[in-house]
Amino acid sequence: MATGPSPQPVRPSSNPAVAVIRLYIMSYFPCGFWPRIITRFLGDETFGKLAEFLYDTSGIPSSSSPSWRCWQTGLELLVLGRTVALRVNECLADVDAHWSRMYRAAQLMVPQEPDFNFSSIDISGMSVLEVIVPNDVVSAEGMFVLFLLTVEHFKSCKLH
């Protein structure tokens, strides 16, 4: 009985210092917010196409199409089954995941109108939504799939 090539081990490595992170500070998440936003992400094929464009996995025989991993207060888009291409989640104060505690301990500064001077805001008791696009490099048996997020990627990406 012949067997096909064995699945290649995929090893992602991240550099969080150059990830693209956006935080949204809200007084609360309205009832039904997470089911609605997760449904919208799952129903939109654009994100999967963008991930396929940014991570060229054509040289990796065991590559699969991007997939979503969802939980109650977030979701992430996985490439090659392990590498996170996009994560959207609530940063809970009592969970030591990602950067949640650091966000809450930091002094966040926002520009205030009319003169746009920066002032600090107190986010204790507020809800924090994190949107993160990591800067990852993926290797599989000597091959490298490099994710470089540049404006040129988005300009040249044909999604429809």
Mean pLDDT of the chain: 74
**Higher per-residue confidence, 132 vs 105:** 132
Mean pLDDT value of segment 114-123: 86
Boundaries of domain holding 129 = 12-150
Per-residue model confidence (pLDDT) at position 37:
94
Nearest one of 51, 55, 58, 88 to 73, comparing CA atoms:
88
**Residue 4 counted as domain residue:** no
**Residue 155 counted as domain residue:** no
**Residue 54 counted as domain residue:** yes
Mean pLDDT value of segment 26-35: 93
Q: What is the DSSP string of 67-120?
A: EEEEETTEEEEEETTTEEEEEEEE--TT--STTHHHHHHS-EEEEETTTTEEEE
Per-residue model confidence (pLDDT) at position 43:
93
Give the count of domains, the chain: 1
Distance CA 140, CA 94 (A): 36
Mean pLDDT value of segment 33-44: 94
The whole model's pTM is what? 0.69
**Residue 6 counted as domain residue:** no
